[in-house]
Amino acid sequence: MTSADDLISLVRAYNPTTNEQMLRDAFAFGADMHSTQFRHSGEPYFTHPIAVAIILAQQQMDDDTLVTALLHDTVEDTKASYSDIERLFSREIAELVDGVTKLTNLQLSSTETKQAENFRKLFMATSRDLRVTLVKLADRLHNMRTIKAMRPDKQVQKARETMDIYAPLAGRMGMQWMREELEDLAFRVLNPEARNSIMRRFITLQKDTGDVIDKIATDMRAELDKANITAEVMGRAKKPHSIWRKMQEKDIGFSRLSDIYGFRVLTSSEADCYRVLGAIHQRWSAVPGRFKDYISQPKSNGYRSIHTTVSGRDGKRVEVQIRTREMHEVAEAGVAAHWSYRDGQRVENRFAVDPVRWISALSERLDDDHEHDEFLEAVKLEMYSDQVFCFSPKGEVIKLPRGATPIDFAYAIHTRIGHATLGARVDGRRVPLWTRLKNGQSIEIITAEGQTPQSTWIDIAVTGRAKSAIRKFLREENREKFIRLGRELARVAFENAGKRATDKALSTAARALNITDVSEMLTLLGSAEITAQSVVRAIYPDLSARTGDEVEATHAVVGIEGNQGHQLAHCCRPVPGERIVGITYRGKGVSVHAIDCEALADFEEQPDRWVDLQWHEGTHGAVNTVTFDLAITNDAGVLGRICTLIGEQKANISDLRFIDRKPDYFRLLIDVDLSNLTHLHQVQTALEAESNVSALSRHRDPALVSQAFARSEK
């Protein structure tokens, strides 16, 4: 096991003025607290905190962070308390240990709703002191390096969590080396066959072509020498997970994959970076569309570098990153550059940008009243997306995720601008709002007084900020409309159940559904987030006891042999008066379809299963459910008139659900209980005559076939 002297020697190499006694005290305290504990591998548990401290020392972190690493599990796993840490060391270290403990207790691999809340807590903790996250990332890195000692199911859980959360977070913090290692360690667990396949391909490729990396690096050094440029050239093959991701994104095999080799050229000045670029482009052909200048347009985490891809030796594509050594320090250390020491002094790197500002801005922007899924959506977009850099008419640079639109650009400037967006000009030319923006474009947002967000914008926007602002506006703007619509839906549903939707009944239903008040319940009902049937069931559960299968069992058909059971197919829902045919299911019965049902095409090669059927005369008074697909204008009272119109035809609405909402129309599915084909035509005719119905069709779903029988065959 690494000793305190070994750790102190490592720290003293970059920080001669380190508080050696504090490190020794932390080492002794941690060793004592964990003295009776062991890891899954059988090693003493304290080897883990030591390893975490060493990872951070290699990043040249400050003393407080290293002490936190040595003590990060004491409060959670031993008898040590927050007050003990504060008394023996300092309040700052106690706060850091407490922060790491809270992050450790987050179950980040749970359900989406829980995960969104955990993301919120993670970023709130990070915004208070970034070193909490640095210790947690180092903790996860060592755990992934030693993951083989865990149970297989735990390995998969931790690997998935690492791939989804910790690796992208490390990348966002600018610690690209850590991101790549975390991804590769997780990839080794989640898809070992794919990783091994890539490694075998590399070995074969090396046998066939020799050491390509060394040859290309030698060629580059020769070109730089000709141009009288002093620079360091380093090359490497890309990580297996990075290659696998490219193969999946481009849907190509390994043999067709290009640029699997990456090279870095380090110079002493910014001017030399551009001289290197010129020398490389003069010698090799640049690949169009693969040039990025992050020196003139740095990433938000301070990353600066020139990226280009060229066709190198034997036509092989290679990616080249060009930057100064000062830029390279930030590219390698990321956020840790803010805390790193050299010769006993904090290192001042002019290119280092504190990413805590990004996290704080995110936490403030996504305040507590946002829905969990919206928060999670925004966080993932912020963490995973590549960026494009666009310019405002005044020359201000706006950074957006790749695939962003003018709507995202408008909301990035200000919510007020976003809400009032009427159109956009890109490089002086008018474009649709759904246009995908590209690097370097100049964007002008056209606004108009009285303009408000449209519901279609949610599908157009990409950034979490824009989507959240649009949803919030629409919820507030349409609240009264949703309440009126919800009240009408509730009235119809209660009347169909033989009850009245009184204020007391609605209040009771809201309480039963754990909804704060009646207005909120009606809003949810009007926005189709809950169904009218669920509101009725909350008070009268027995009214919905009869299932669709029991209803269908009352229908009598002629042509079924013996005691075979039958069921009306859910895909077409035939009604008496329509020509019908049966499909037999061995040992189960017969599924009854309308003769024009699309699902019958699946049985064309099985003629022995077909049965010719017809309705029994006495079934024409039975209850049959048909689903209508309607598009109606989005005007006040329209849905109420539709419901009344159906009732006037002596038919009942058993369910209603919205499938699309636009500023000018709603599209919805309505389940209507009626008696036969003639009754169906009467309802259709009445609806088609209504001027506010712009489209009407009978909804059928071939994928449903006969649910009960199809399930039983599997």
Residue 237 DSSP code: E
644/641 Cα distance (integer angstroms): 5
Which segments of 334-463 does DSSP mark as H helices, in order? 356-365, 372-384, 406-413, 415-419, 457-460
Output the CA–CA distances (angstroms, integers) from residue 10 to 29, 64, 71, 301, in the order listed.
Answer: 20, 15, 18, 27
Q: Which stretches does DSSP call E strand in 257-391?
A: 261-267, 285-286, 292-293, 306-311, 317-324, 341-342, 345-346, 387-391
CB 571 within 8 A of CB 593: yes
Strand partners, 652: 673
Task: State the catalytic residue, choosing from 77, 270, 354, 690.
Answer: 77
Burial (CB count <10 Å: 0-12, 13-18, 19+), residue 159? buried
CB 132 within 8 A of CB 97: no
Q: Please, what sign has the CA dihedral across residues 62, 65, 71, 73?
A: negative
First to last CA, the chain: 56
Q: Catalytic residue at 314?
A: no
Residue 463 DSSP code: S
Place of tokens 């109420």: 640
131/72 Cα distance (integer angstroms): 12
Q: Which stretches does DSSP call E strand in 500-609?
A: 557-558, 566-568, 580-585, 589-594
Task: State the catalytic residue, choosing from 20, 43, 62, 76.
Answer: 76
594/575 Cα distance (integer angstroms): 8
Position 379: which residue type? V
Q: Catalytic residue at 701?
A: no
Q: Which residues contact 572 (CB under 8 A, 6 or more apart)?
A: 593, 594, 596, 597, 598, 599, 700
529/525 Cα distance (integer angstroms): 6
CB 396 within 8 A of CB 442: no
371/377 Cα distance (integer angstroms): 10
Give me the active site residues, please.
76-77
